[in-house]
Structures are given as structure tokens and as C-alpha cells.
Amino acid sequence: TSTMMRTVSKPGMMTRAGSVRLIKAAKQKQKERPPKKWPPLALISVVQCRDLMPRDAYGNPVDPFVTVRVKDKTYTSATQRRTCDPYIAETYTFETSVSSSNLLIEISVKDANPLQGKGFLGSVSLPFYGTAIDKWVYFNGEDGQEGQGRVQIR
């Protein structure tokens, strides 16, 4: 009578000649796959805003949040409660290409509670620089004139 032995092996463990051939064949298939090509990525960080327009003539602070729009993607920050100088500190990742020199980044800040005051607080459009920046930019008002407030981006 013949006895069948069942061998339990872990991946990469050499037990018999047949198992070794299977492991080598699997490694050979992995080598044949072309490497994945990842799209080039860029980061934009909205650090903070300063001197935003108060909600009313009494100087009551707003509940601001920031939206960043790049191409067809829109990113929204968390709402900061009762402040005209919010610290946002959020970073957004988007895909770029080599020919992204005409790419625009649109940043706008709004009040999360527009019923008590003004919803739109300001916006700005910036060209994509393709290099590291750290700058303060003043917002434009609704009519395109210089608004009140500024944003720090990196």
C-alpha cells in the first residue's frame, strides 16, 4: 500500500522539486510585467487666511471654509467656526502633465452660514507654477475688484 503525504508549505518555502518550479515560474511572470506608470502629481497647501470680512457691521466673525478647484476637481476644507483669521492647513493632490503651464488654480472662501451674513467672501485664480512657492495672495471681491482678506498657499 502506498501512503500519500500531504505537505503544507508557506509561500517561498522549498519543499519538493515541483514546488520550487512553481515558485520560479511565478517570479518569472512578475518580472515580465511592465512597470506601472503613475501620473505626475502636484500638491497645493492652503495654510491660512487673514483679515476676512466680518459677518456684519458689528464685527461678528464668519464661519469660513475654502474651496480649491483645479481642472474638473473641487476640494473643500473643513469649516472654521467664528473667525476672520482661519488656520486651514490642508493639502490637496491633483494630477498634472508636462504641459500644465496654462493650468489655473481657483481658490475661494465662503461663509458656511450665509443666512446670517454674506456667503461669498473672496476668490483668486492663480497660474500653476510647477515649482515650490510660499506666498500670500489677496482675494478679489465679487465684482472683480480687490476684496478684503488674503490667503497663504504653498
3-state secondary structure of 148: strand
Going from the first residue of the chain to its last (154 residues), give the mean pLDDT of each consecutive group of 10, the final group possibly shorter. 52 53 62 70 91 88 93 92 94 78 88 78 87 88 78 89
Could you give the CA distance from residue 75 to residue 93 in angstroms, rounded to a whole number?
9
pLDDT tens-digit map of 16-55: 555 556 666 666 666 666 667 777 888 899 999 999 988 8
Task: Please check whether residue 122 is in contact with residue 109, taking contact to mean a CB–CB distance below 8 angstroms.
Answer: yes
- Whether residue 3 lies inside any domain: the answer is no
Asked whether residue 2 is domain-assigned, the answer is no
The answer to whether residue 32 sits within a structural domain is: no
93: CATH: 2.60.40.150
**Spatial distance between the Cα atoms of 88 and 79, rounded to a whole number of angstroms:** 9
- Domain containing residue 57: 41-153
The answer to whether position 31 is within a domain reads no
